[in-house]
Structure 1
Amino acid sequence: MDKLKAMTTFVAIVDHGSMSAAAEQLSRSPAAVVRSLAELEKQLGVRLLNRSTRRLALTDEGRDYLQHCRQILADIDAAEFQLDSRRANPAGKLAITAPIMFGRLHIAPVLTQWLQQHPSMSAELTLLDRTVDLIEEGFDLALRIGWLADSSLVAKPVGAVKWVLCASPTLLESLQLKYGAIKQPDQLSQLPTLGFAAAGNQWQFNEHGRDLSVPVNPLFTCNQIDTLLQACRDGLGIIRVLSYQAQRDFERGTLVPLFPDFGPAPLPVQFVMPHNRLVSPRVRSFLRSATEPLQQRLTTVETTLSACSISL
């Protein structure tokens, strides 16, 4: 027996004064209403209503039970109303994580705008260049770049980014004077390079459909992209980064992207969340607000890359 449905039926009978009136109000048959009341009384072990051909009258037990039913049903209505309200106007705290540079450049501005539009919300943005366990570490949402190895996550794509080589104009001039035209990625082994500590010393390319791995020997390695980008601006060497990481340098002309025709397949950029969780109103609201602006931002990154790309 559906206890809440039976309670609702009992209250409707009392409020409308008859089985038939309650049945009409609930869009049920009179027989179903009579059966529901009988099953409820049988389970409770008491009579709730004294019934005659002319009238219904509450018993003492029925009067007490009616008060509890009204309170329980009112509490349920209040809870559902609050959830409906939060769906329209989410409240609480959103916990989100993203890679350090992507989060600083792209997630933080979008998150700030969303918070301004939802004053009842707060947010905690944790920037980490490592993969986190969303459930274990208490995150609602994560921004990830790359293909997902974890099938227990649900992904919401927002775009893609590419690996790109770049160097300062000053370094390019000196390399051309020293080596002449450089047309193939495998020539990188004789050029000065800078390395991101977590990326290793094998740079991947795709040459006319053929995967190519080029060994490099970086003269400077660091675990922070910002530091490497500055060294690259200073002309120390060629760096391999994701397109969004060097976008501002491309726009300002402080760095130039190289070998645009040899890049490997783009990497997906996506929000991820555990598939075994219901999507909360705050997560749903943020995704709805953030997806289109991030798509536009990543499209701008690729447009900038295409406009600035040259070959040595």
Structure 2
Amino acid sequence: MDKLKAMATFVRIVDAGSLSAAAGASGQSAASVVRSLAALEKHLGVRLLNRSTRRLALTDEGAEFLAWSRRILAEFDEIEHSFDARRHSPGGLLRLTAPVEFGRRHVAPLVNAFLAQHPAMRVELILLDRMVDLLEEGLDLAVRIGQLPDSSMVAVPLGRTRHVVCASPDYLRAGRQLPHPSALREHDCIVFAQQGGEWHFIDGGAALTVPVPARLGTNQVQAASLACVQGLGIARLLHYQVAAELADGRLVRLLREFEPPELPVQLVYPHSRLLSSRVRLFIDWMAERLRIPDPGS
């Protein structure tokens, strides 16, 4: 039994003064109204209305339940109107996490623009280069780069990127050649800690893993890309992290034919969570405006 609907039907019967009038006012059949009242009385275990051929009269329990029903229905109506207003002008707190460098470059500027346009919204942006459990951490959304191992997550595509190997023109002018990934063992390499000391490639359709000697190891993307630009060695980073340097010639892309497949960039949220209007609004905002540099083929 739909208790809220039965409650509303009961109030309508009392206000209309008869079962047939209540049926006409609600667009239901008289039989449907009778069944609804009977089911409600059976559920509550009391008689709400004394019925005769001429009139309806509230019992004591009916009068008590009527007052309670009016209050509950009014409160529900108020909440419904409040949520409807939020759908048109969402407010409240949205908690979001993203990888540090991607968040700094691409997410933070959009968050700022989003907040400027939606003054009732608040955002907590947490930049981390580690995977976090959204439910445990109380987070609404996460930006994730790569395939999702967790099937309980819903993913909204934002774009794609890929790992690229690069070096500065100065480093390459010193006569250093890199015809194959295996030759990396003979080079100075700049290792971003998140990727570890083994770099992954595709060689003739087969996976190839190459242990690389780290002349510099760092947990910061900016430190790795700067060292690479300054000619300290070869780096392997995500394309968006060095897109500007590749575009203006400060870095040269190497080993393109050995690059592994592109990686999806996605907004994810738990499958079990019903999306609030503010989360849906932000997802649509990001998907429409985010522009990730094309990593090419």
Query: Residue type of the partner of 2:259?
Result: G
Aligned to 2:56: 56
Aligned to 1:80: 80
1:302 corresponds to 2:295: yes
> What is the rounded CA distance, in whole Å, between the counterparts of 2:112 and 2:264 in structure 1?
24
Residue from 259, 262, 268 that aligns with 2:264: 268
The CA deviation at 1:75 is 0.9
> What is the rounded CA distance, in whole Å, between the counterparts of 1:246 and 1:42 in structure 2?
70
**Residues 147, 41 of structure 1: alpha-carbon distance in 2 compared, 3 angstrom cutoff:** closer
269-278 or 92-101, which moves further after superposition? Answer: 269-278
Aligned to 2:111: 111
**Residues 216, 43 of structure 1: alpha-carbon distance in 2 compared, 3 angstrom cutoff:** closer
| Cα deviation digits, residues 159-179 of structure 1 (max 9, x gap) | 1111111111211211x3xx4
> What is the rounded CA distance, in whole Å, between the counterparts of 1:115 and 1:147 in structure 2?
30
Query: Residue type of the partner of 2:129?
Result: D
> What is the rounded CA distance, in whole Å, between the counterparts of 1:61 and 1:209 in structure 2?
77
1:207 corresponds to 2:207: no
1:235 corresponds to 2:197: no
Aligned to 1:310: none
Query: Residue type of the partner of 1:32?
Result: S
1:140 corresponds to 2:140: yes
96-105 or 5-14, which moves further after superposition? Answer: 5-14
> What is the rounded CA distance, in whole Å, between the counterparts of 1:49 and 1:127 in structure 2?
61
1:35 corresponds to 2:28: no
The CA deviation at 1:59 is 4.4
Which structure shows the higher helix fraction?
Answer: 1
Aligned to 2:189: 193
> What is the rounded CA distance, in whole Å, between the counterparts of 2:82 and 2:194 in structure 1?
46
> What is the rounded CA distance, in whole Å, between the counterparts of 1:46 and 1:155 in structure 2?
50
Aligned length, in residue pairs: 297
> SS of 1:73's equivalent?
helix
Query: Residue type of the partner of 2:285?
Result: S
> SS of 1:93's equivalent?
strand
> What is the rounded CA distance, in whole Å, between the counterparts of 2:151 and 2:36 in structure 1?
45
**Residues 240, 44 of structure 1: alpha-carbon distance in 2 compared, 3 angstrom cutoff:** closer
Q: TM-score normalized by structure 1?
A: 0.88
> What is the rounded CA distance, in whole Å, between the counterparts of 1:206 and 1:38 in structure 2?
71
**Residues 240, 42 of structure 1: alpha-carbon distance in 2 compared, 3 angstrom cutoff:** closer
Aligned to 2:247: 251
> What is the rounded CA distance, in whole Å, between the counterparts of 1:48 and 1:205 in structure 2?
75
**Residues 15, 188 of structure 1: alpha-carbon distance in 2 compared, 3 angstrom cutoff:** same
The CA deviation at 1:54 is 3.3
**Residues 42, 157 of structure 1: alpha-carbon distance in 2 compared, 3 angstrom cutoff:** closer
> What is the rounded CA distance, in whole Å, between the counterparts of 1:147 and 1:47 in structure 2?
60
> What is the rounded CA distance, in whole Å, between the counterparts of 1:28 and 1:182 in structure 2?
79
Assess if the C-alpha contact under 8 Å between 2:160 and 2:294 holds in 1: no
14-23 or 282-291, which moves further after superposition? Answer: 14-23
